[in-house]
Amino acid sequence: MRIALIGYGEVGRILAEDLRAHGDSVAAFDLKLGSEPDTVLRTHAAQHGVVLADSHVAAVRDAELVVCAVTASQAVAVSRSCAGGLARGAFFLDLNSASPGAKIEAAGIVDSASGRYVEGAVMTSVPPYRMKVPLLLGGAHAAALEPLLSGLGFTPKVASDELGVASATKMCRSVMIKGLEAMVIEAFTTARHYGVEDAVLASLKETFAGIDWEKQGAYFFQRVIEHGRRRSEEVREVAVTVLEAGLEPWSAAGTAERQGWVADLADRGVFGRRGEGSFARSVDWRIEADRILAQRKTKGAGR
Percent of the chain past pLDDT 70, that is, above it, reads 93
Average pLDDT over residues 222-234: 90
Percent of the chain past pLDDT 90, that is, above it, reads 80
Q: How confident is the model at residue 279 (pLDDT cuts 50, 70, 90)?
A: very low
* pTM, two decimal places: 0.83
Q: What is the pLDDT of residue 292?
A: 93
The architecture that CATH gives domain 167-299 is Orthogonal Bundle (1.10)
Listed in sequence order, the residues at least 6 apart from 34 whose beta carbon sits closer than 8 Å to its beta carbon are: 54
User: Where are the domain boundaries for CATH 1.10.1040.10 in the chain?
Assistant: 167-299
Q: What is the pLDDT of residue 271?
A: 86
pLDDT exceeds 90 at position 296 = no
* pLDDT tens-place string over residues 183-224: 999 999 999 999 999 999 999 999 999 999 999 999 999 989
pLDDT exceeds 60 at position 114 = yes
Largest CA distance in the chain: 62
The answer to which of 33-42, 64-73, 77-86, 120-129 has the lowest mean pLDDT is 33-42
User: Where are the domain boundaries for CATH 3.40.50.720 in the chain?
Assistant: 2-163
The answer to which of 32-41, 109-118, 157-166 has the lowest mean pLDDT is 32-41
Tell me the pLDDT of the chain averaged across its residues. Answer: 91
Q: What is the pLDDT of residue 33?
A: 84
Q: How confident is the model at residue 92 (pLDDT cuts 50, 70, 90)?
A: very high
* pLDDT tens-place string over residues 242-278: 999 999 999 999 999 999 999 999 988 888 764 444 4
SS3 readout for the chain: CEEEEECCCHHHHHHHHHHHHHCCEEEEECCHHHHCCCCHHHHHHHHHCCEECCCHHHHHCCCCEEEECCCHHHHHHHHHHHHCCCCCCCEEEECCCCCHHHHHHHHHHHHHCCCEEEEEEECCCHHHHHHHCEEEEECCCHHHHHHHHHHHCCEEEEEECCCCHHHHHHHHHHHHHHHHHHHHHHHHHHHHHHCCHHHHHHHHHHHCCCCCHHHHHHHHHHHHHHHHHHHHHHHHHHHHHHHHCCCCCHHHHHHHHHHHHHHHHHHCCCCCCCCCCCCCCCCCHHHHHHHHHHHHHHHCCCC
Q: Which listed CATH number (2.40.50.140, 3.90.1150.10, 1.10.1760.20, 3.40.50.720) goes with 2-163? A: 3.40.50.720
